[in-house]
Amino acid sequence: MNIHKHAFSFFLLLLAFALIGTSTQPAYAASQREVTLPHIDRFYIDSPDRLTPGSDLTFTVEGTPQGKASVRINRVKKNIPLKEVSRGVYEGVYTIKSKDKITGGTTLRVTLQERGQSTYETYRMASASSTAPAAQPAAMKIDRFTVTPIGKIEPGAELRFALHGTPGAKAYFTIEGITANVPMREVSSGQYEGSYTIRRLDHFPSAVKIYGTLEANGQAIGAPLKQALITDTKPPVLGNISPRDGETVVAGTVTSVSATFDDSGGVGVDTKSARVVVGGANVTQSSVITPQFFTYRANLPPGRYPVEVTARDLAGNAVRQVWTFNVVQQAAATHLPLRILNHANNDQVRGDITEVRGRTAADAKVDVQVQGISSVAGLFGVTQQIYSQSLRADANGDFVFSFRPQFPVAGTRYEITVNATKSDLNTELKMVLFQQQ
């Protein structure tokens, strides 16, 4: 078997400059800080004369050491990991399967990740009939890929991107889940610009991924955007705290300590920064933490429980909230039971119609209010009254209601208030549900 080794060489320039904002725009200046991307210096493919099932493709990548390298072959679903066999040298093998359609001209994407940053490059396999190595394309580079921050993610706002790198290439950007391969115009040598206007139904998650790409001579190079899209100086807030400050709950049942995060049009909460302390114990690792809420569930013994929650959004703005609740051995004589049976606080619901089943005292009056708070293009606070009704519990204390929003949007927060009344007793319960993403 003859082995052809195809070598492609190129270099990425290190990002050496940070954009400096004026003293009147500290948030903008902070968002313009650049990062150093990992680099791929060389990529080799060892392939047989005929690309037939059972044949091995051997890949070698040289670049930034102590990273994670992988290869993705077009029309092959498996991502091929490479192992670092020596400093900065990664190797891996893929055996061609009968269902694979790999030919001369098949494209491959090589990705190298290091310290949370990633670089990818695209190559095309040489034809098996080629008797000489293909001419090596000129080295490509992306010096920087930036965005002009805006005040708020909302319909009609324009995101303006700039990419500086190899001149005379084809440039475009992709916003994952929103739009792909939007062309950028070369306004001067190596300087490309493009824009995207946010639509009404666009949903921008807090960690949306955006990439800029340069392509020329069958070669492509990409760089991720490492800036915040908005100028965010406002810290997030905690809402829908449960149990509420000063509230008393009964021992012997699982207590759910929870709250929602609302960044009010900001870049979203960084879940890695969140810290939850209940009764003096750090329970962060035992909590469910998302950009929208946190929940800690435990069977707590009687006592007084201070709660402290701290977090930062992705722009670095910090929030700290402290409150206290009590756990008692048994309910007071004036307690009216009230609980939801089929949902826990901060559960996700799917579909257009959500049914809620609960239990209280027999023949109690139950008043229900449901508000939906939607995120349209990342804009929090679009509120609609979804359900308002008075019910009557049956002889077993059971009651049920269902609600259906006019426009169910992924990530919508449903704030539910249930108030049970019988004779002179009254109990209120609040919970939050989220529309499944």
Q: How do residues 210-242 score in pLDDT, each as one tens digit? A: 999 998 877 788 889 888 787 777 888 898 898
For the chain, give the mean pLDDT.
80
- Phi, psi at 119, each rounded to 5°: -135, 140
Residues 267 and 227 occupy one common structural domain: no
Q: What is the mean pLDDT of residues 167-179?
A: 91
Q: State the sign of the Cα–Cα–Cα–Cα dihedral 154, 155, 158, 164.
A: positive
Question: Domain check: are 11 and 105 in the same one?
Answer: yes
Asked whether 249 and 326 are in contact (CB, 8 A), the reply is: yes
Task: Supply the pLDDT for residue 55.
Answer: 82
Of the candidates 332, 356, 376, which is a domain's last residue? 332
Q: Where are the beta strands (DSSP E) in 22-178?
A: 40-47, 56-63, 68-73, 79-86, 89-95, 107-114, 117-124, 142-148, 158-165, 170-175
Residues 6+ apart with CB under 8 A from 171: 163, 165, 183, 184, 186, 192, 194, 212, 213, 214, 215
Q: Same structural domain for residues 341 and 353?
A: yes
pLDDT for the residue numbered 33: 40
Q: Looking at the structure, do residues 387 and 427 belong to the same domain, yes or no?
A: yes
pLDDT-derived band at 302 (thresholds 50, 70, 90) equals: very high
Together in a domain, 158 and 28: no
pLDDT computed for residue 367 by the predictor: 95
- Here the CATH number for the domain that contains residue 219 is 2.60.40.10
Per this entry, what is the length of the chain?
A: 437
248: domain range? 232-332
Amino acid letter, residue 168: G
Q: Does 128 lie in the same domain as 5?
A: yes
Asked whether residue 27 falls in the same domain as residue 63, the answer is: yes
> Based on the domain organization, do 81 and 116 belong to the same domain?
yes
- CA 428 to chain CA centroid, Å, is 34
378, 328 contact by CB (below 8 A) = no
Cα distance between residue 273 and residue 62, in whole Å: 34
Residues 170, 275: one domain? no
Q: Residue 46 and residue 4: Cα distance in Å, rounded? A: 6
Can you give the pTM of this predicted structure? 0.48
| pLDDT given for residue 131 in this prediction | 36
Whether 79 has a pLDDT exceeding 60, the answer reads yes
Amino acid at 280: G
Count how many domains the chain has. 4
Q: What is the pLDDT of residue 382?
A: 66
- Supply the CATH number for residue 254's domain: 2.60.40.1220
Instruction: Choose between 300 and 107: higher pLDDT.
Output: 300
The pLDDT of residue 411: 76
pLDDT at 10: 34
Q: Give pLDDT, residue 416.
A: 92
> Which range, 74-83, 130-139, 181-190, has the best average confidence (pLDDT)?
181-190
- Which of 108, 136, 164 is a domain's end point? 136
Least confident of 3-17, 54-68, 152-166, 382-396: 3-17
Question: For position 195, what pLDDT does the model report?
Answer: 94
Residue 370: how many other CB atoms lie within 10 Å: 22
Question: Averaged over 414-433, what is the pLDDT?
Answer: 90
Q: 434 or 42: which carries more pLDDT confidence? A: 434
pLDDT at 26: 34
Predicted local confidence at residue 175, as pLDDT? 92
Q: Are residues 435 and 393 in the same domain?
A: yes
Higher-confidence residue of 314 and 248: namely: 248
232 closest CA partner among 279, 267, 277: 267
Would you say residue 161 has pLDDT above 70? yes
Which of 42-46, 167-171, 397-401 comes out lowest in average pLDDT? 42-46
pLDDT interval class at 304 (50, 70, 90): very high
In the structure, what pLDDT confidence band is assigned to residue 275 with cuts at 50, 70 and 90?
A: very high
Q: What is the CATH number of the domain that holds 20?
A: 2.60.40
Share of the chain above pLDDT 70, in %: 83
- Report, as an integer, the average pLDDT of 274-297: 92
Q: 340 and 398: one domain?
A: yes
Instruction: Say whether both 21 and 104 belong to one domain.
Output: yes
Strand partners for 277: 282, 308
Q: Of the residues 213, 231, 249, which one is the last residue of a structural domain?
A: 231
Segment 153-171 shows an average pLDDT of 91
